[in-house]
Amino acid sequence: MNSASTETTPLLPRTRCPTRCTEQLKVADLVCEARQMGPLAWPVSIGYLMQMSLGIASVVALGRVGTTSLAAMALATLFANVTGYSLVVGMAAAIDTLCSQTHGECTAGTGDKKEIGRHLNRVMFLLFVLAVPVSVLWWFTEPLLLFAGQDPAIARLSALYIRYMIPSLIPFIIAESVKRFLMAQGIMTAQMYVIGFVAPLNAFLQYLLVLSPYKIGQDGVGAPIALTLSHVLIALLLCLYTRFAHGGDAYAGWEWNHVLCARKLTCAVKLGFSGVLMTCTEWWAWEVVVLAAGIISPTSLAAQTIILNITVITYTIPLGFSIACSTRIGNALGASDPQKAKVIAWAAMCTGAVLALLNSSFLMLIRNHLAWFFSDDTEVVDLVQQIIPLAATYQTADMVGCIAGGILRGAGRPEIGACLNLFGYYVLGIPVGLLLCFMGGMQLYGMWVGLTIALFVVAGVELYIIWVLDWSKEAKEAHERSLHLE
């Protein structure tokens, strides 16, 4: 499948298949589906990888300003992620289910294409409402950081950075929502093109506003300003892409009688809340590890930062397949084709297992050289080399779990992943990790042991649930959800 076809042709054939899922899985079907998923997945992975460079550029720039500025930005980023950006990403996941299933109906010739855009507007409306309390919270960050025992100088500067990040909330909401709206229609390359253009511009802005003779202030406030400008540009370009390139024919404009429909808003809230739990439980768990590492020692914190950056980079690979399979499963169920959805799900799981093994093997092969790329501190390097084998094991389950989460979102069952993550991380992983870390004397290694155990449990249960999932029932529920929202 070439890249052009992914932008202009349906993800699924324009035919309605039997509504019963009775056929056995065939290897040839799985291989065929995996091949079709690849061209959809790789642009997403590259797009997310380039998106990470926005934050990395600010870290590099502030690292040249001073240790206090760098620490303040790290604290500001942690606070903004936990209290704002993670909530937006989680709530926006409702678009994955609603828009992809509606697009599947349209592909089958039974749906209203404008309803895809109405789903987008409803979720964005909810996110705009959410942005109000988040903005107020961000404005009063300094007292909260001081109450948490942070260094006063770092707390003051972090609060200043976060205030400059408040204007980025609305553009971030628009960009995240429009990106998912396009992906639900199989338009996967938009994010890659847009961020590919913005990323080098962001790097230039970081230099201009932080390091050049034209910099703003002496304490690095140009870094969050550059990030905010980049988010504004990303949102603007994605909207222009939708208007003039692909996907705009599914947008209905702001029809308030549809946006404010209580029944439809309730459905979006339910899916969005499950998405928030599913996303934030994992996101916040790793912030707990960062805090624990900071308590242990500066060496542990530095090692954790390096390992987390490595695993986040490799995580973008299964993330692309997770979003691709979520979209295709939603399309298949919307088109009343449960057998197709089942094939897509297991093709994605098999692909995820292969990727997990390849990634773990790669990390193990280069573990003795990887840490030196990030640090020349012998103690930090030794600790990274000690934990990398465990991190490689963790990522085996993480990649499988990532794709399983995409399958559940596409099927309209994000609440399953949310409950499992909540149990896995906060009932099992974090308590065990903290116990091993501080009482068992294992320190940072103990935290990783706890979360690795948790994720293997979560991934195993998700696999079982997908194995026993009644795809015919899911297709019927997708159809009933559509009727309920008419």
Structure-block tokens of residue 355: 């990727």
pLDDT in tens, 401-448: 999 999 998 888 888 988 999 999 999 999 999 999 999 989 999 999
Structure confidence at residue 365 (pLDDT): 86
Structure confidence at residue 77 (pLDDT): 86
Structure-block tokens of residue 10: 């349906």
Look up residue 83 and give its DSSP letter: I
User: How far, in Å, CA of 259 to CA of 252, rounded?
Assistant: 11
User: How far, in Å, CA of 327 to CA of 342, rounded?
Assistant: 13
The residue among 134, 121, 130, 203 whose CA lies nearest residue 163 is 134
pLDDT in tens, 244-277: 988 888 887 888 888 888 888 888 999 899 889 8
Structure confidence at residue 330 (pLDDT): 87
Structure confidence at residue 484 (pLDDT): 53
User: How far, in Å, CA of 96 to CA of 327, rounded?
Assistant: 7
Residues of the chain with pLDDT under 50: 1-6, 8-10, 12-18
137-176 burial, b at 16+ Cβ within 10 Å, e below that, comes to: ebeebbeebeeeebeeebbbbbbbbbbbbbbbbbbbbbbb
> Is residue 195 within 8 Å of 234, Cβ to Cβ?
yes
- CA dihedral (364, 369, 374, 377) in degrees, to 10, reads 110
Percent of all residues in the chain with a pLDDT value above 90, rounded to a whole number: 36
Structure-block tokens of residue 177: 């929502």
